[in-house]
Copies of this chain bind each other. A is one copy, B any other.
Amino acid sequence: MDPERFKDLLKPVETKIIMLVLDGLGGIQKKPGGLTELEAARTPHMDRLAAEGTCGLHCPVGAGITPGSGPSHLALFGYDPLRYQVGRGVLSALGIDFDLKKGDVAARGNFCTLDEKGRVKDRRAGRISTGKNRELCRILKDIKLPDCQLFVETVKEHRFLLVLRGKDLGGSISDTDPQGIGREPIPIEPRDQKSIKAAVLVSEFLKQARKHLIDKYPANMVLLRGFSQLPDWPSLEELFLLRAAAVAAYPMYRGVSKLVGMDVLETGDTLEEQIRTVEDHWENHDFFYLHFKPIDSAGEDGDFERKTALIQDVDRFIPRLLKLKPDVLIVTGDHSTPSSLKSHSWHPVPALLWTANCRIDPVREFGERACMAGGLGVGFPAVHLIPMALAHARRLDKYGA
């Protein structure tokens, strides 16, 4: 159901929901007869929740689609990621905690190598070091543009963030990245009337950048793509009457939380600190999004054992969350990151919903295959989790008489 349609059903009650997101939770077996990382992990507390709750496997974006962290989190927050789209520029800004303002125009930048004829020879300039990147960004920051503040911020290796801040700037601008080698960068084009001014400024930036970088081989030019501006989306409070808080150590996840109007709480790097943050703010919010990143990183590194051990680490903290007496506790991932694939994947993601009033299903442990027999179903859309949480938290009125 369109989230806008929940408005008429929402009840302002004092119930609490925790959504614990283990980044990249889902996995696959290394070989037939084997276990997934979650299945291999000893998780007595999550198993108890699974046995007392209802389980399933969600599909973040669509069948066969491997989601990035932005879309997969939007889905967990109840925002259809095919409808609510964020540009790459904005995502880059969120990923480095850059304080993007309404009206700023952001783009994802790559340092690249042009050959002597001005054609792209390497779209990533040989993946220069992050240190080198910082050095080059310092040079580009000095470029002056009329009536406009310029930010050039290092992301990592060859990647940087470009932000223009000024009056009346539109973000509908074409990419310069030709997405292949042997071709020249594509000249900037505004896609609407509102974006002409920004397009002119970006063209001027590119002209000057080329001058400054001409002798910096291999990073002798930049490519820009994903021009975008902060979207103007309804907040979780507007859509679902949830005063929501985000507890996340990584900038990207704090950023996506801000996009949907969450209060981003100051917290530490460890799960211990993050759970203390939830405890300290328990009275002030209805919905807590608690994000744990290292499981995904272990999957990306192809480290089955570390991923398993990290899942076990999280499990030990479940009793602390239960002590808060949440009305609804959801434990899931934003996507799968099987260590044998060393990357995000399209595989449905284990999810458990624990509440006093759920229909208890036959699932007795929290694992991919166990969840296939669960009451939430296999491959249910991740955007259903928030409506389900609202229902079990008794926050929704009847639809129709």
The interface of chain A, by Cβ under 8 A from chain B, is: 1, 5, 9, 26, 28-29, 32, 36, 51-52, 56-57, 61-71, 81-82, 85-86, 88, 91-92, 95, 338, 340-341, 343-348, 357-362, 368-369, 372-381, 384, 386-392, 396-401
Among A36, A92, A380, residue most surrounded by chain B Cβ atoms (within 10 Å)? A380
**In the complex the two chains form, what is the Cα distance from A205 to B157 in whole Å?**
73
Can you name 11 A-B pairs with beta carbons within 8 Å? A29-B360, A36-B359, A63-B381, A63-B388, A64-B389, A66-B391, A66-B399, A359-B368, A372-B375, A374-B378, A378-B378
Write the nearest CB–CB distance from A360 to chain B, whole angstroms.
Answer: 5
Assess the A86–B400 pair: CB atoms within 8 A.
Answer: yes
Top 8 A-B pairs, shortest CB-CB distance:
A64-B387, A63-B384, A377-B378, A64-B391, A68-B400, A1-B62, A71-B400, A346-B391
A400 touches B81 (CB 8 A): yes
Interface contact A61-B375, CB-CB below 8 Å: no
Query: In the bound complex, do residue A65 and residue B399 qualify as a contact, i.e. CB atoms below 8 Å apart?
Result: yes
Output the nearest chain B residue to A343 by Cβ-Cβ distance.
B398
Note all chain B residues with C-beta closer than 8 A to A68.
398-401
User: Given contacts A68-B399, A384-B63, A387-B64, are A5 and B82 in contact (CB under 8 A)?
Assistant: yes
Q: Is the CB of A379 within 8 A of B377?
A: yes
A9 to B376 CA separation, bound complex (whole angstroms): 29
Residues on the B chain within 8 Å of A82, using CB: 1, 5
> A347 touching B359 by the CB < 8 A rule?
yes
Would you call B378 and A369 a contact (CB within 8 A)?
A: no
Complex contact B61–A32 (CB within 8 A): no
- Which residue from B28, B57, B67 sits with its C-beta under 8 Å from A398? B67
Interface-central residue, A341, A359, A389, A398, by most chain B CB under 10 Å: A359
Chain B nearest CB, measured from A312 CB (Å): 21
Q: Which residues of B contact A347 (CB under 8 A)?
A: 359
B70 touches A390 (CB 8 A): no
Q: Across the interface, which residues of B come within 8 angstroms of A346, CB to CB?
A: 388, 391, 396
Q: How far is the CB of A305 from chain B (nearest CB, A)?
A: 19
Determine the chain B residues whose CB is within 8 A of the CB of A361 once the complex forms. Answer: 369, 372
Q: How far is the CB of A371 from chain B (nearest CB, A)?
A: 10
Q: Chain B contacts of A348 at CB under 8 A?
A: 359, 375
Whether A390 lies near B359 (C-beta < 8 A) is no
- Contact present for B387 and A63 (CB under 8 Å): yes
The answer to whether A401 touches B357 (Cβ under 8 A) is no
Residues of B contacting A392 with CB < 8 Å? 64
| Residue of A26, A347, A389 most packed against chain B (CB within 10 A) | A347
With a CB–CB cut-off of 8 A, which chain B residues contact A359? 26, 28-29, 36, 347-348, 368
Give bound CA distance, A145 to B28, whole Å. Answer: 65
Q: How far is the CB of A287 from chain B (nearest CB, A)?
A: 14
Chain B residue contacts of A340, Cβ below 8 A: 357
A5 CA / B62 CA spacing, docked (Å):
11
B residues in contact with A399, CB < 8 Å: 61, 65-68, 71, 81
* A390 near B360: Cβ-Cβ < 8 Å: no
